[in-house]
Amino acid sequence: MWLLTGIWHGANWTFILWGLFYFVLLVIERQTAIKPGHVLTFLAAMTSWVIFRSPTVSGGLGFLASMLGLSSNALYDGGAIMYIKGSWSVIAFGVIGMFPMMRNFFERHSVIESLWLCLVFVISSLEIISSSYNPFIYFNF
C-alpha cells in the first residue's frame, strides 16, 4: 500500500523510495519485537521527509550524508543560524515541553496543557505567516 502511496505522489524515484521506506519500517515493526520510541520515530520521519522532498535519489542521499556530518559540508552555516534565530520561540517552547516534568504537570492540569498547546500553535502559525519562504511542494506538480 505504501508503494502505491509513493506512486500517487508523483512519477519520481524519490516518491517510490519514500513509499518503500515506510513499507520496510512497518514490516520491521510488525515482524520483530522492535518497537520504535520517540527518537527512532523522529529520525525515521526526518529521513523519509528528506527522501520525499529531494529532486533525485542521489541528491537525497547527499543531503542525508550532510545531516550526519559525513560530507565535506559543515553541519551548520549562516543559513542555519538565521533559521534558528528566527524560530527561537518555537524552539524554546519545544525544548521546555519535552521534559518529563512538563508531561507530569500537564497530566495533572489538563486546562493548562490545552492553553499551552494553543499558545504553541499560535506562535508556530505566526512564525509561518511572517516567513517569506513558502515550501508548499504541491505547486511543483
The residue annotated as part of the active site, out of 2, 3, 5, 9, is: 9
In terms of domains, do 114 and 141 share one? Answer: yes
Report the pLDDT averaged over residues 38-52: 85
Length of the chain: 141
What average pLDDT does the structure give for the chain?
A: 80
Which of 75, 106, 132 finishes a domain?
75
Q: Which residues neighbour 48 within 8 Å (Cβ) at sequence distance 6 or greater? A: 18, 21, 22
- Say which residue, 141 or 113, is predicted with more confidence: 113
Cβ neighbours of residue 36 closer than 8 Å, sequence gap 6 or more: 25, 29, 44
Is the domain of 137 the same as that of 93?
yes
- Considering the domain architecture, whether residues 45 and 110 belong to the same structural domain is answered as no
Of 22, 56, 75, the residue at which a domain comes to its end is 75
If asked whether residues 23 and 64 sit together in one domain, one would say yes
Number of domains in the chain: 2
Q: Which domain holds residue 25?
A: 1-75
pLDDT value of residue 87: 81
**Residue that finishes a domain, picked among 26, 49, 75:** 75
One domain for residues 80 and 121:
yes
**71 shares a domain with 38:** yes
Question: What pLDDT is attached to residue 68?
Answer: 81
How far is residue 123's CA from residue 1's CA, in Å, rounded to a whole number? 36
Instruction: Please give the model's pTM, rounded to 2 decimal places.
Output: 0.54
Rama region for 36: left / alpha / beta (φ>0; ψ in -120 to 50; rest): beta
Same structural domain for residues 67 and 103?
no
Per-residue pLDDT band for 111 (boundaries 50, 70, 90) equals very high
Asked if residue 98 and residue 71 are part of one domain, the reply reads no
The one-letter code for the residue type at 139 is F
Give pLDDT, residue 94. Answer: 81
Check pLDDT > 80 for residue 4. Answer: no
Is 38 one of the catalytic residues?
Answer: no
SS (H, E, C) the chain: CHHHHHHHHCCCHHHHHHHHHHHHHHHHHHHCCCCCCHHHHHHHHHHHHHHHHCCCHHHHHHHHHHHCCCCCCCCCCHHHHHHHHHCHHHHHHHHHHCCHHHHHHHHHCHHHHHHHHHHHHHHHHHHHHHCCCCCCHHHHC
- Condensed to tens digits (0 to 9), the pLDDT of residues 19-37 reads 888 888 888 888 887 777 7
